[in-house]
Structure 1
Amino acid sequence: MDTSRKNRIIKITIWAVCSIVVTAALLAATAFFWPAASKQLQSSSSEKLSYNDAIAAANRTVSEDTSNTDIRPECRSIIKTHGKKTAKAVMMIHGVSACPQQFTDLGNTFFNAGYNVYIPRVPSHGLTDNKRHGEITIPAMAQFMNSSTSIISGLGDETGIVGLSGGANMATWITQYNSQTISRALLLSPFYQPSESETPSWKIPLLRNLYGRNILPDSFTGSNLSYRALGKYIIIAKNYKSDLKAPGLKYVGVVTSENDTAIDKNLAVNIPKQMAAASGAKFQYYSIPASFGIGHDIVALNQDEVKKHADKLYPFYLDMYEGKDVKLEAN
């Protein structure tokens, strides 16, 4: 091989190696240092609605879900009212990969206690192909949170929110950016980021930026949760107000389960606690004993252990939401 050809090969090899190194460096920088701030999540566009306008908007949402054949019938948005604006109304937001069905029974508990209840379907959730919840986008999440808040604003004199897992994450954002509407919040198994056993802390930026920004193709956990969706919920949490303040907030309750290994429990308690302190609101926390046998989803009746304790759990959640000093007694 002549010298000039050998030199060309060496140059090409060096160029290729340098390109790989630069690409890897850019990917690493993106993964760990990409700012989590999102313009759509830095302010709210919700508005106060009259009862009639709120009902009309809720009915449109239910109608759109009903006409969309991609949405499973049991997963359509739910509106339950007493035919008029009530003293109290509550919005319930389901978890990642779940749908309004998750809150059907708890919603009935609140409705029977006199509340108007709205349970909206999070975008890309409740579809016939459930893995498509990974298609959710940040703009769609922001629009959902704002439009849903507008609807609940017209359903009661006092309005509040209940969220489970990723829904509790959304509820935390809504509470801070819509404190003129939301005066109380109950956060169940709040998912702000995974537990250390699920995802080591050094991997969180990878999950948030590479999957949450749709750079890597989607992948799924053992329980079929989309990495892309999880990354976007983590982005929401990174866009809370720096001081977590929600003027007008009166009460925050948090419930987790001792058996829950999915979430970072320190954040699950400390973020709402700090939000309450910054807002001058009452804070209450309860951990469901391990003896109840309940894991992360502490609401849905399709789980045997939740069903077994439903007669105690649902009234307990209502009492916790209302700020009563209560605890669970094992059977």
Structure 2
Amino acid sequence: MIDFGRRVSRWPLRSARLQRVPGPDAFAADAHPVADGHDTRRLSHGGRRPGSVLLLHGYTHSPAQLDALAARFFERGYNVLAPRAPGHGLVEPGAHATVTAAGLVAYAAAALDEAAALGEETGVVGVSAGAVLATWLAAYRPDAVRRLLVLAPLYGPHAGQVPAAVRVPMQVLYGLRALPDRRNARGYSYHAVGQYLRIAANLPAVFPAAGVRSVAAVLAPGDTTVDARLAFDVPARLARAAGATLRLDTLPDDLGLGHDIISTHRLGAHADALNERYVELYEG
């Protein structure tokens, strides 16, 4: 994975196509059927609101992952859009392995356009791999994104998952699909994860000095999936460049949470309190 702090070379992962906003016709919907209960959520108050929020789910998940958080934002008066990412939430098992970096940024850009039409001020919340897309939108659409909240952002893998010495070669070889795909114990496709990491590698070296006004990042101390340093460093750099407020929140250790800090079945009795915490961090 790319070490932003040490400015490790990002060639050949850099691509002009991943550093500009695609046109409105770039996003192509999945041709395969969607599994029941896993399609896009649109929560509308019936007209344009002062605020709208775009929620981007994590890799291998679907908008169902964000139902409780979406409901909390809606109760606070926001119009809410939680779109289904390409290849996710389908009847076809493992379809998420086919995602491409270009397809993911096209999906995110199209979703932001829809969300921005729903509110005077729009923000983005992203979970894990979805947080990479949320950050990409804040970087390349400073005209539209005013608030950013990233939950357990996957800008890079934890050292326990991928040793530092092989991060870059693995990201290049799997991200560019130069090696046959592999799956880890959780069913994650190396090719698919590589697409999200390619997007992270194409975040600007210097973030825009305008746009986002509030940035927050949340991590659990028990997270053994993401690089904790990057999880806070990238949002902090974005906030500093834009002159935005910044909140870096480490959840209490006694909650016993790991990487999944959003799914209701993982949060148990803490779900309501944590979702309220996330909304408050988003609102600044």
TM-score normalised to the size of structure 1? 0.79
Q: For the structure 1 residues 46 and 276, does the alpha-carbon distance in structure 2 shift closer, same or farther, using more than 3 Å as the test?
A: farther
Q: Which residue among 273, 276, 279 is the counterpart of 1:312? A: 273
**Which of 30, 38, 41 matches 2:18?**
41
* 2: CA distance, partners of 1:132 / 1:39: 26
Give, in whole Å, the separation in 2 of the partners of 1:252 and 1:215: 36
More helix by share: 1
Asked if structure 2 preserves the Cα contact closer than 8 Å seen for 1:218 and 1:226, the reply is yes
CA drift of 1:69 comes to 5.5
Structure 1 runs of 4+ with >4 Å offset: none
Distance 1:286 1:92 in 2: 19
Alignment match, 1:8: none
1: CA distance between counterparts of 2:210 and 2:97?
33
**Higher relative contact order (CA closer than 8 Å, sequence separation 6+):** 2
In structure 2, do the counterparts of structure 1 residues 282 and 133 end up closer, same or farther at CA, with 3 Å as the change threshold?
A: same
Q: Which residue of 1 aligns with 2:87?
A: 124
Q: 1:237 aligns with which of 193, 200, 204?
A: 200
Which residue of structure 1 aligns with residue 241 of structure 2? Answer: 278
- What is the CA–CA distance in structure 2 between the aligned matches of 1:33 and 1:310, rounded to whole Å? 38
Q: Distance in 2 between matches of 1:134 and 1:202?
A: 25
Given that 2:10 and 2:201 are in contact with CA atoms closer than 8 Å, whether structure 1 keeps it comes out as no
Q: Hey, what's the Cα distance between the residues in 2 that align with 1:148 and 1:42?
A: 17
Aligned equivalents of 1:230 and 1:69: distance in 2? 21
Identity, % of aligned positions: 33
Tell me how far apart the structure 2 counterparts of residues 182 and 307 of structure 1 sit (CA, whole Å): 31
Residue 289 of structure 1, CA deviation? 1.4
Aligned-residue CA RMSD (Å): 1.9
Shift of 1:233: 0.9
- Note closer, same or farther for the CA distance 1:33–1:275 as it changes in structure 2 (3 Å cut): closer
Matches of 1:99 and 1:130 in 2, distance apart? 13
* Per-residue CA distance 1:198-256 (angstroms, 9 max, x = gap): 10112222332211111212111111111111111111011111112251210100110
Q: How many residues of Structure 1 are paired with residues of Structure 2 in the alignment?
A: 274
| CA–CA distance in structure 1, aligned partners of residues 34 and 170 of structure 2 | 27
Kept in 2, the 8 Å contact 1:177–1:246? The answer is no
CA contact (8 A) 1:77 1:119 kept: yes
How many Å separate the matches in 2 of 1:230 and 1:210? 12
Contact 1:208 1:234 (C-alpha < 8 Å) held by counterparts:
yes
* Partner-residue secondary structure (3-state), 1:73: coil
The code of the aligned residue for 1:317 comes to Y
Corresponding position of 2:4 = none
Match of 2:174 in 1: 211
Matches within 5 A, 1:30-109: 34-45=11-22, 70-109=33-72
Letter in structure 2 aligned against 1:210: L
Q: Residue 292 in 1 paired to residue 235 in 2? A: no
Q: CA deviation at 1:44?
A: 1.1
Residue 139 of structure 1, CA deviation: 2.1
Does the CA contact (< 8 Å) of 2:54 and 2:80 recur in 1? yes
In the aligned structure 2, how far is the partner of 1:218 from the partner of 1:283? Answer: 38
Secondary structure of the residue that 2:121 maps to in structure 1?
strand
Q: Which amino acid aligns with 1:296?
A: H
Q: Which residue of 2 aligns with 1:247?
A: 210
Asked if 1:180 corresponds to 2:143, the answer is: yes
1:39 Cα deviation from its structure 2 partner: 2.3
- 1:176 touches 1:246 (CA, 8 Å); kept in 2? no
**Rg comparison, structure with higher value:** 1
Deviation at 1:153, TM superposition (A): 1.2
Question: What SS does structure 2 have at the residue aligned with 1:74?
Answer: coil
How far, CA to CA, are the matches of 1:309 and 1:298 in structure 2?
A: 10
List gaps (5 residues or longer) in structure 2: 1-8
Question: Shift in Å at residue 46 of structure 1?
Answer: 5.9
- State the distance in 1 between where 2:278 and 2:209 align: 22
Instruction: Give the 3 Å change call, closer, same or farther, for CA 151–46 of structure 1 in structure 2.
Output: farther
- Of stretches 38-47 and 190-199 in structure 1, the one that deviates more from structure 2 is 38-47
* Residue 71 of structure 1: how far off its partner (Å): 1.6
Contact 2:105 2:133 in 1 (8 A): no
Partner residue in 1 for 2:282: 321
CA distance in 2, matches of 1:144, 1:248: 21
State the distance in 2 between where 1:235 and 1:35 align. Answer: 10
Letter in 2 for 1:169: V
Q: In the alignment, residue 280 of structure 2 is paired with which amino acid? A: D
